[in-house]
A and B are shown apart, each in its own frame.
Chain A
Amino acid sequence: MPSLVIDNRSVEVPKGTKVISAAEKLGIYIPRFCFHEALGAVGACRMCAVMFLDGPVKGLKMSCMTEAKDGMVISTDHPDAMRFRSWVIECLMLNHPHDCPVCDEGGQCLLQDMTVSGGHGIRRYGGPKRTYRDQDLGPLVGHEMNRCIHCWRCRRFYQDYAGYRDLGAMQIGSRTYFGRQKDGRLQSPFAGNLIDLCPTGVYTDKPSRYEGRRWDYQRSDSVCPHCSLGCATMLNVRYRQVIRLEARPEPAVNGHFICDRGRYGFGFANHPERPRKARIDGSEADLQTALQEAATRLGEVSAEYGAGAVAALGSCRMGLEAQVAMARLCHERGWSAPRFYLEPDLALRVHAAARSLEPELALSQTELQKADFILAVGVDPLAEAPMLALAMRQAVRSGATVALIDPRPLELPFPSRRLAVECGLFDVALPWLVRQAFGAKKRRKLDEIYPRLLTVAGGEGLEKKGLRELKKMARLLAKSQRPALVCGTDMVPQGLPGGAADLVRLLREQGKDAGVFFVLPGANAMGAAMAAPEETAGGDLLEAMERGEVRALLAVESDPLFGFYDRARLERALEGLKLLVVLDHLPSVTAAKAHLLLPVTNLYEAPGISLVNHEGRLQRASAIQEPGTPLDQYGGGGHPPRVFSESTPGGDLLPADVQLEELAGLLSNTNAETPRLNAWEWLAQRQPGAAEAVSNGAPVYGERLLPIQVGQAALVEQPVASPVAVGKLELLVGSWFASAEELSSYRPIPAGPEDEPALWLHSETASRLGLETGGPVRLVLEGGELPLTLRTSDEMNRRTALLTPGKGASWQMLPGRRTLLDESAIQRADRGES
């Protein structure tokens, strides 16, 4: 631990720390442009020069390039250092346009701050300024190259950190240009980070242009609701409208970055058709009346058919508070078990993951970056949890190998080993691989302790070639010290999540620092498991509706019609209900069918919500803006507001948990004065992990609420190989996140080319069936035909077909999430037909 003196204060830092970071430990911010904690030091801008007065290095040196050493005495405000830094700013300002008053970065510009604080005020350079041509980088990121100060952060992030090649540096010297070969939409799904990284206004947030200044916004710490990773975001709100989101540095979770889906997915909050007024049978009513009506009608159904005829369906996009309130209501009223998934199998898999996630097994994104071998099974990172791909890439950059077991054509920004077996073989392939990683002697011993491993010893269902690849992966696993297992819950066999955690435990017993990283179906899937651990005992909700056992459905922040594979069947079941009550903030299809619609606030409105991410970490998406219709939607775009009223237009909303609590009060019809436990205390009584994090009735955020106690459910104990039979194809639907994750599907930003409906086949399968890549095909299903474009890949499984539905819901006519098809169901369509 070198100890050094900076500005007359001593500090001790770990070996290898750069002086610039050592100073930061003392709270001394050394000016910088190119240095960035996540991108590292490259010594390009020369802005962080400090004076080394004594010790192993002497003179004016760059603090980002110099490692802290014992005995160093450093002055950050030595006159020579100040003079040099001021000169660097002068150089950077030679060509920088003086357009701060109209620049979108103005007020949050590092260059502006440094120029003002660095002491360069009077322009001495009298020559012409350099100008560039700007490019159109698509609908998300603006480009103004004249403002560039060449810190190289964009290129370093885009190519080195994120692994995409379509933006980079061109030309040399003072003509160096950062951009693309040609104008066009940036291909990286992480491109929005350029906006946060750019120290000046070259890359700006395009959708929020001209909407306001940094100081105009109400800002609060938020959490991304678009997948289960729960990345930290910074919310910017103005005039009751979400204007933009930025990444918020959170070292324990996502580091410095977020994905573009998370950054631009907030459109649902400002949606013009968002329900803002309660509705009773289609007519507007005020919220209190509607709540009263809901209580009355729910009570009627309960009285007529029994309490069990009322069911509640939540989701994993809602806050933990509402999840708890909903589960509690079901318990207290004796309703059918609370549910958060329409598909009981999916609930089983998520619960298996939640149950097996012991504190020492769970990996966060930043912990995954440190793995030296990553095995991912049944996950499409870019589709299901984009930041996972970025974390995996960082591990690869530090020397890790990534091995993927998945039938789909996965496009990832790093090299990987692949085994494209069908989903039905995961259960065999994974344990076989792990078993193979141990020597023969150990293997025999293992087989005794873990008979599960023995049953797969033969590698049943796997082809020779596949076994060879698995052996190679096993060798890498055997060599690794910190292996990580990434396990999906979408299209994996029922036993896989639990089995995967068992294997990680086994590896830990063998001395490896192994961990597991589950990818779950929503931002608060863990919260749902905590709130309703008994969910899977409730049975199939859809079947119960069809049988008439459930007569009233309370759908809380849940749109079951979105993304369900058999839409017609679900619609019939919903129509058969006596009562459909919907609490939501989305203008959803289900909400449109509701007898009673109760509008709720979303996570961007006060007081915000709590979410539990995939690793069990409790996080707070706080919000300070009061709910209401955005000014530009009711004020005719007028600014400042000229309409005066006593209440906020469109603000007659309450958070879902408050409404559910009110319902509970209305339904209980006792005026009991006995103090009721608050939601956190109620949860703490049921969840041992939460108990630790709750003190005095309030939770501690940022902690993991592990372990999570989930009711035992029947699981497939013995892995069974279920390969796809010859002549058949297994049809998978592009992850429910692929192009239309529920919340971000409401965003107004134009869809990319990836949103076109397509069917993917292995190129050999396609040519065997006489189908042409890029040509039109018909997918013939029982419910009808789907016109699609055929895409092929050499890396996917030969007996798997992947349907990527894109925008629009016409694909929802399948018998299940994974469907066996006859090959003849895929037919060539004539051009023009589709």
Chain B
Amino acid sequence: MGEKVLLQNRRRDRPATLDEYRDSGGYQALATVLKGVEPRELIQMVLDSGLRGRGGAGFPAGRKWSFLRQEAPHPRYIIPNTDEMEPGTFKDRVLVGCDPHQIIEGTILAGYANQAERAVIFIRPSYELEAKVFEREFSLLREEGLLGENILGSKFDFEITLHRSAGRYICGEASAQVKAIQGERPRPDKEGHMTESGLWGQPTIVNNVETLACVPHIVRNGGEWFKNLAATPEGAGTKLYGVSGMVERPDCYELPIGTPLREIIFEHAGGMKAGRRFKACLTGGASTKLLPEKHLDVRMDFEALAKIGHRLGTAAVVVFDENACLVSACLNLLTFFTRESCGWCTPCREGLPYMRHLLRSIELGEADEDCIPRLKEMTEMMDHSYCAFAPGAAAPVKGLLEYFEDEVREHLVRGCCPYKGV
């Protein structure tokens, strides 16, 4: 197993304390930067490190930061996105729970790089424990001069506040998140750019917390070191892989980005549960395509997965065994997405219930042949929705129809689910 970076202070009973974090080199990066690194140099460091966003889309973090114009107005905001509502995904919770300070340090560094005044951590309501951890550490940091005015004696002032979400999946999307913080109805908004007009109409950067947690390490050890952490020359850094489902040891694993999927499931997660056979898995949470056994050797990185028509997403691997009915699994996921659609655009609001209806009739064996091409047509139409929600919601079904059409057809032929009672 490669070097542990993000989870180096992980212990099973409690989060690492400020002192423990400091002992492992914590807040050195911040001190170095505040002593004489220009914001532009910091952004360059992150650009050079090749760090890509860990929230799902994989957008280069340094480039996102460089979009914020130097002469853009103040105040500016950083929003560390801790809304992890993607089914099957739990890496951010582990990250906050084991070492909250590296997120905080990363956030302050992002604030410095973008010359922002304030960060608003947007946190999922079911992460109340983690929210309390954050709040406790904030007050400690203020006492230590690491947060507030003149951080570490420098001229840099920065505040972090915590916003507890009311809890809706769509709030994870950056522009919807901004609306949610403003007390408005959360929905994705493609008009304008966050870096020009985000929270309260001010320049805003929304980053996933895992992305931010990487920043102090990049500053301390350099971009080259960060790149070398990856399993492949094109990747950069380590990645938190959350493995769940029918495996022996479901957990969150920090591994070099680009580790083959087979290695993640069959070595690190201990392989399938005794007596079970691998059938399919999701690669990056519920809004990614079902992946069949023939692709198990794919390297778990953005590019490699994209090449075979899949997505890394949140790198949450959900494993299904041969006894799982994939129609039923997709129906389950689609029920979630149907409920969580914000209702803004037609394909998502009306199309998802339509798909759910078709899947349900397949699962019940009540559908006819015609529903397979219809379902296929729907998954294609979903690509023309307002935001990425609908194509994501349709992704598992896309995989189902691409690789497991026989299983779908079996439902139709038998007139019932072939896995019922297995």
Contact = CB atoms under 8 A, between A and B. Distances in A.
Interface stretch (A137-145, A170-178, A601-609): A170-178
B350 A95 contact: yes
A85 to B, nearest CB: 10
B162 interface: no
Q: Determine chain A's interface SS by DSSP, over half rule.
A: loop
Contact of B346 (A60, A88, A169, A172): A88
B41 to A, nearest CB: 35
B130 to A, nearest CB: 25
A525 to B, nearest CB: 42
Contacts of B381: 84, 87
B384 A46 contact: yes
Interface in A72-121: 84, 87-88, 91-92, 94-95
B377 interface: yes
A94 B347 CA distance: 12
Interface string B165-176: 000101000000
B115 interface: no
A603 to B, nearest CB: 42
Nearest to A33: B346
A46 B345 contact: yes
B353 A44 contact: no
A182 B377 CA distance: 40
B341 A124 contact: no
A95 B338 CA distance: 15
Contacts of A125: 354, 357
A43 B187 CA distance: 12
B338 to A, nearest CB: 6
Interface in B315-369: 338-347, 349-354, 357, 361
Contacts of A88: 346-347
Interface residues of B, number: 28
Interface string B58-70: 0000000000000
Contact of B354 (A49, A91, A168, A176): A91
B185 interface: yes
B349 A174 contact: yes
B351 A91 contact: yes
A125 B367 CA distance: 11
Contacts of B346: 44-47, 88, 91-92, 149-150
Contact of A172 (B342, B353, B354): B342
A65 interface: yes
A169 B184 CA distance: 11
Contact of A173 (B185, B342, B386): B342
B190 A65 contact: yes
Contact of B353 (A43, A92, A124, A174): A174
Nearest to B381: A87
A746 interface: no
A84 B343 contact: no
Contacts of B351: 91
Contacts of B202: none
Contacts of A94: 350, 353-354
B197 interface: no
B5 to A, nearest CB: 38
A174 B384 contact: no
B338 A174 contact: yes
B343 A150 contact: yes
Contacts of B185: 168-169
Interface string A142-168: 000000011010000000000000001
Given A43-B190, A87-B377, A95-B350, A174 B343 contact: yes
A127 B168 CA distance: 26
B343 A46 contact: no
A49 B380 CA distance: 14
B374 interface: yes
Interface string A57-71: 000101001000000
A209 B147 CA distance: 64
Contacts of A47: 346
A298 to B, nearest CB: 66
Contacts of A176: 343, 349
Contacts of B228: none
Contacts of B384: 46, 49, 60, 62, 84
B385 interface: yes
Contacts of B340: 172-173
A34 to B, nearest CB: 9
B343 A43 contact: no
A173 B338 contact: yes
Most chain A C-beta atoms within 10 Å of own C-beta, residue among B338, B342, B345, B386: B345
A581 B51 CA distance: 89
Contacts of A45: 345-346
A43 B354 contact: no
A172 B350 CA distance: 12
A127 to B, nearest CB: 4
Contacts of B374: 124
A149 B345 CA distance: 10
Contacts of B342: 172-173
A801 B168 CA distance: 50
Nearest to A127: B357
A125 to B, nearest CB: 6
A382 to B, nearest CB: 26
Nearest to A177: B343
6 closest Cβ pairs, A-B complex: A176-B343, A91-B350, A173-B341, A127-B357, A174-B353, A46-B346
Given A43-B386, A174-B353, 18 more contacts: A43-B345, A44-B386, A46-B345, A47-B346, A84-B384, A91-B351, A91-B354, A94-B350, A127-B354, A149-B346, A150-B349, A168-B185, A169-B343, A171-B343, A172-B168, A172-B341, A173-B342, A174-B350
Interface of B: 168, 170, 185, 190, 338-347, 349-354, 357, 361, 374, 377, 381, 384-386
5 contacts: A49-B384, A87-B377, A125-B357, A127-B353, A171-B343
